[in-house]
Amino acid sequence: MVAILTLATGAAEAARTFTVVNSCSFTIWYIFTDLHVATNVPDFPTGWEAGPGTTFEFQVPDNWKAGRIWGRRDCDFAGNMYGGPSTCLSGGCNGGYQCDPHTGIGVPPVTLAQWNLDEGGSDWYYISLIDGFNLPMSNTNNVGCPVAECAVDLVRDCPKALEGPYTTNGWPIGCKSACLANLNGNQANSPDCCTGQYSTPKTCPASGVTFRQYFKSSCPSALTYAYDDAALLTCPSYNSAGYTVTFCP
Render pLDDT for 158-168 as a digit per residue (tens, 0 to 9): 999 999 999 99
Distance, in Å, from the CA atom of 60 to the CA atom of 10, rounded to the nearest integer, reads 10
Mean pLDDT calculated for residue range 104-130: 92
Cis peptide before 249 (omega within 30 of 0): no
Q: What is the CATH number of the domain that holds 100?
A: 2.60.110.10
The verdict on residue 137 lying in a domain is: yes
pLDDT digits (tens, 9 = 90+) for 60-101: 888 888 888 999 999 888 877 777 778 889 998 888 788 877
Which amino acid makes up residue 191? P
Question: Which residue intervals of the chain are DSSP H helices?
Answer: 212-218
The verdict on residue 89 lying in a domain is: yes
- Using DSSP's 3-state secondary structure scheme, residue 213 falls into helix
Do 194 and 210 form a contact (C-beta atoms < 8 A)?
no
The verdict on residue 207 lying in a domain is: no
The verdict on residue 168 lying in a domain is: no
Distance, in Å, from the CA atom of 194 to the CA atom of 187, rounded to the nearest integer, reads 9
Distance, in Å, from the CA atom of 95 to the CA atom of 44, rounded to the nearest integer, reads 15
Task: Indicate the pLDDT class of residue 59, thresholds 50, 70 and 90.
Answer: confident
The verdict on residue 120 lying in a domain is: yes
Is the model's pTM score more than 0.85? Answer: yes
The verdict on residue 163 lying in a domain is: no
Distance, in Å, from the CA atom of 9 to the CA atom of 59, rounded to the nearest integer, reads 7
- Residue 214 backbone class (left: φ over 0; alpha: ψ -120 to 50; beta: rest): alpha
The verdict on residue 55 lying in a domain is: yes
Q: Identify the weakest region by mean pLDDT among 3-12, 13-22, 24-33, 212-221.
A: 3-12
In which domain, by residue range, is 41 found? 4-156+220-247
The verdict on residue 214 lying in a domain is: no
Task: Indicate the pLDDT class of residue 7, thresholds 50, 70 and 90.
Answer: very low
Which long-range CB contacts under 8 A does 90-94 form with residues at least 24 apart? 90/134, 90/165, 90/173, 90/174, 91/29, 91/31, 91/134, 93/31, 93/33, 93/47
Q: How many domains does the chain have?
A: 1
Task: Indicate the pLDDT class of residue 232, thresholds 50, 70 and 90.
Answer: very high
For the cut 80, the answer to whether the pLDDT of residue 243 exceeds it is yes
